[in-house]
């Protein structure tokens, strides 16, 4: 259970970040399912990377507690999901321009 909660928070945070950025990239024409899937993948990857590198521990400190840790996972995963969605969206935009 101790490992499941951060993964769920990362998946939700990544999905939110991916959908926000995907909605902002109007020309990329990403479907809601694709934005959500990319966000979840990027969110879990970004959250795990932030945990493994110690970024969350250094930013939050030892006094953060469980609530701070959950918020840190959510923030890191939202950034990861947003980045992956933005990268795929830009690639799709450039391929659409090249096809014209």
DSSP state letters, 3-26 = THHHHHHHHHHHHHHHHHHHHH-G
Cα gap 56→84, rounded to integer Å: 20
Cα gap 67→69, rounded to integer Å: 5
Q: Is residue 68 part of a domain?
A: yes
Cα gap 25→94, rounded to integer Å: 12
Domain housing 58: 26-94
Q: Is residue 66 part of a domain?
A: yes
Specify the pLDDT at position 33.
Answer: 94
Cα gap 99→42, rounded to integer Å: 27
Mean pLDDT estimate for the chain: 86
pTM of the model: 0.85
Q: Is residue 100 part of a domain?
A: no
Structural domain count of the chain: 1
pLDDT at 63 over 80: no
Lowest model confidence (mean pLDDT) among 9-23, 55-69, 82-96: 55-69
**Beta carbons within 8 Å of 27's beta carbon, 6+ residues apart:** 93, 96
Q: Is residue 56 part of a domain?
A: yes
Q: Is residue 55 part of a domain?
A: yes
Q: Is residue 89 part of a domain?
A: yes
Specify the pLDDT at position 25.
Answer: 83
Q: Are 56 and 76 in contact (CB under 8 A)?
A: yes
């Amino acid at each position: 259970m101790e490992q499941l909660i951060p993964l769920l928070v990362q998946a939700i945070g990544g999905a939110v970040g991916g959908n926000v950025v995907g909605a902002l990239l109007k020309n990329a024409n990403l479907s809601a399912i694709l934005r959500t899937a990319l966000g979840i993948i990027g969110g879990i990857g970004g959250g795990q990377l932030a945990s493994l590198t110690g970024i969350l521990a250094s930013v939050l400190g030892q006094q953060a507690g469980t609530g701070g840790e959950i918020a840190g996972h959510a923030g890191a995963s939202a950034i990861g999901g947003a980045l992956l969605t933005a990268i795929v969206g830009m690639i799709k935009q450039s391929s659409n321009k090249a096809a014209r």
